[in-house]
Structures are given as C-alpha cells and as structure tokens.
Amino acid sequence: MTDKKHRIRLNQEYRNKIAKRIELGLDQEHTIEKEKYLQLREQIKPLQDKTWNLMYQIGRENYPQEDVDMAWHLQKKYDNVNTIAPDSCFHVAYMDTRKEDKLNYNGDVVEAKGQPMEVEEHFDFKVDGSVQSGSNSRQSGNQFAYAYFRDELKAQPDCNPDINILMKDKDSNNPYQRKITEANDKYLGIGHQSSSNHTSYQAEWDKDYSMDLIGREYCRDRQLMTTKENYDQLLFWKNQKAQFVIAHENWVESIQNQMSEIKLGLKGYKYLDEALELEWSRSSSTKEHLSLILCDIDHLKAFNDNYGHVAGDHALVRTVKTIMDTLQRPSDLPARYGGKNLPLFYPALQPWVQWWLQSNYASLWIPSLFHMPFPTPPRS
C-alpha cells in the first residue's frame, strides 16, 4: 500500500463543489414534491388577496369606516387619545353551540352541552406572520417568507431559504443558523431596512394587508365576530398557507435525503484505500475471495459537452444509484476514483458472482443508464 500522505484523494473543497453541483441538479429536477410546492406557491398570493377582501369586510362590519374616521379625528385633536391601531393580524370568532359538556379538573360540568359558545382563531396576513392551524402547526416567524421568496434568497451568496429545514434538529442558538437567518431577514427586509437597492419584500407584501381598527395595539384585545361561512373561508386560506410551508419542507427534505444517499455511497477513495488495506489483510488470513472492479463510464465527457456538467453530475448520480440498488451487503463499497472511474469493492464473493459483476459493470454507458438486477445463484 502507498503511504497515506501520498494517496490520491479528493480534497474537501473539491468534494464540496461536487456536492453543490449535484444538489443544484436535484434542485432543478421536476419531482412530485417540487410540483406540489410550485402549485401551492402559484395559488397562495391570489388566495390571500381574495381572503383579505373578506377580512376587510369583516373588519368594517365590526368597526364601520365612519367610526374609524371619528376616532382618527379625536386622536389627532387630543394628545391623550390613542385609540386607533393599524393591524394585519386578527382574532376572528363566530357563535356556535357546545357539542359536549365542558368539565373542570374535578369533573364538574361548567358549561353544558347545547349552550352557546364562541369559536375563535387567529389569522395573520403578514409575510413573516404565524403559520399555525390545527394539525398543520408551524411556528410563527419567517418560514412562509423563506418558502415564498425561495428563488430570490437562493440567488444571494450569503442567504439560504432552506436553513430552518436543514438545521431543524440542531440547537436553535446555532451560530451558523443565526448568521444565515440574519442574512435572509436582512435581504427580505424582515425587521431591517433592505440590504440592497431593491424594495423591501416585506414592505411590498405587507402594504396591502393592513387596516385601521379601533382598540388597543394588540389584535387579541379586539375580537371580530363573523359568520361560520366567513370563518371557514379564512380557515381554508390559513390551512393552505400551512400546507405551502409543509410542501417547501417536504421538497427540501427529499433533496437532502438523496444527497445523504449519494454522500454515503460515494465515500471516495479516502475510505477505499483504508477498506482495501483492512480487507486484504483479512482475506489473506481467511483465504476468502476479494473483488475490486473499476468501472469506466463511457462517453461522460461527450455527455457533459452536450448537456452540461450539471446534467453530467445528475447522470452520475443515477448511475451510482443503480449500482447502490444492486449492492446487498454492508461490506460492499462503491467509491469514486476521480472523474468517471467508480471502483466497486466486494469482499468474500464467490467466483461466479465476481465474473458476473465484471462482465456487467466493467463499462457503463451513460445515455442508457440501465438497471441491472442482481443475478440468482445457479443451482448446484
């Protein structure tokens, strides 16, 4: 074996470049998850505009325009009057009847079945507002903004709209996550002045979703009553908004799952030489067979020249996935030995299996990307 410091390996920077190019290809691929995300993204803004018209109507039914104008007049006339507040989030309720008894901790009935009750929900129209509705619960903050303005954020070198999804299992105080979140919010104008010459995305979004209402500063201090029909329309919009955030999460996670498989499967020859050294020593002692097959992917350069390197990386991913689907044992190791060479390492295989692997995998032709099932052992 060659001394470790002289072994050929991909350096970390080159590995990262390869991973980014493959991830870009997966990001551009049309999948079910991506189509769901794009479909909801196209629907969400028109639906919000329609829902806002209903919300404005409900607001004016509870606080007529003439009353709001009078309150503004008094507020401007007297310094100690502060009763008008522009708002974009609202507590909306309708009257219903209780479907079952409400019990206290002692089991006593405090509100009997059939009595009138209010059904209430919070609706937030701001771009960074809460996205919560029943089973589709999502914390308030910027998840909707990141999902909706994903393309704009992806185009910025210091931003990443997927950061909350990629690091959802990490500590929320992670410095890297805070740094990227800060960059995202600054670019969108969330809690900041916009970092570029463009108009703040938050300001552009929120300017059409605010109305003056009489009451204190917080939306919870004034409840707007409406009908169940109107309430259900508002709830449908809120559920769609939550579904959109979930669609973004599902799409990003589907990409990351594929990237994890690729990174795990293509461990590279920094693992291959160590595995070879270990298995060579073991097979020498046990006298078991040891197979190493070097696959050369035909026409990869021509494929890259015709379709681009992103498409070439994508084809490489599909080729590797075909190989990985064939491997059945944890000890089987696919790797990349630079460029278009893929070593396949099979410890302790029978000679007839070695022959089949060599005859099928010695040369892979990229345009076909065929799938080769593992053979059934011959009968003795």
Q: Rounded distance, CA 334 to CA 275, Å?
A: 11
String of DSSP letters for 291-341: EEEEEEEETHHHHHHHH-HHHHHHHHHHHHHHHHHH--STT-EE---STTE
pLDDT, tens digit (0-9, with 9 covering 90-100), for 75-120: 888 888 888 878 888 999 999 888 787 777 777 777 778 788 888 9
pLDDT number for residue 116: 84
| Full set of structural domains in the chain with CATH | 4-19+266-365 (3.30.70.270), 30-260 (no CATH)
> Is the pLDDT at 198 greater than 80, yes or no?
no
pLDDT, tens digit (0-9, with 9 covering 90-100), for 308-318: 766 777 777 77
219 residue type, one letter: C
Prediction pTM value: 0.65
Distances (CA, A) of 335 to 6, 44, 188, 224: 18, 44, 41, 63
Q: Rounded distance, CA 138 to CA 2, Å?
A: 54
pLDDT, tens digit (0-9, with 9 covering 90-100), for 53-81: 999 999 999 999 999 999 888 888 888 88
pLDDT, tens digit (0-9, with 9 covering 90-100), for 202-236: 988 988 999 988 876 667 678 899 999 999 999 99
- Residue found by looking up tokens 């003056």 in the block: 212
CB 159 within 8 A of CB 187: yes
